[in-house]
């Protein structure tokens, strides 16, 4: 079954509200798995399984809200992250050389 058909059928079967609730639940399970992994209580495979669940829900929600809108938002966020990294690299480099004063 292709992705769009899967998303349409899922939405038709369970409804929009259930998809929101499921996304919240899957994110919470991933959060818990990451904490358990960090403490050495679970194997990486369990984290990967939860990550897969969240990835599926992100795909579903992206389709529901508009994949183009989500893609544009991701690009804006990536650009912001790149800018932040460049600023941090510049600040760290300036601090290391003692030339951190601005103008």
pLDDT 10s digits, 9-44:
999 999 999 999 999 999 999 999 999 999 999 999
Section 5-9 average pLDDT: 96
pLDDT 10s digits, 65-100:
999 999 999 999 999 999 999 999 988 776 555 555
**Terminal Cα-to-Cα distance of the chain (whole angstroms):** 60
Residue count of the chain: 103
- What is the residue extent of each domain of the chain? 1-65, 67-98
Distance between CA atoms of residues 38 and 35, nearest Å: 5
Name the pLDDT band for 102 (thresholds 50, 70, 90).
Answer: very low
Q: What is the pLDDT of residue 16?
A: 98
């Amino acid at each position: 079954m292709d992705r769009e058909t899967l998303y349409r059928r899922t939405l038709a079967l369970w409804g929009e509200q259930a998809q929101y609730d499921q996304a919240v639940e899957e994110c919470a399970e991933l959060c818990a798995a990451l904490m358990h992994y960090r403490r050495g209580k679970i194997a990486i495979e369990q984290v990967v399984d939860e990550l897969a669940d969240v990835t599926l829900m992100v795909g579903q929600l992206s389709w529901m809200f508009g994949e183009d809108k989500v893609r544009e938002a991701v690009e804006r966020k990536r650009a912001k992250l790149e800018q932040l990294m460049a600023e941090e690299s510049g600040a760290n480099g300036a601090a290391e050389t003692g030339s951190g004063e601005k103008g």
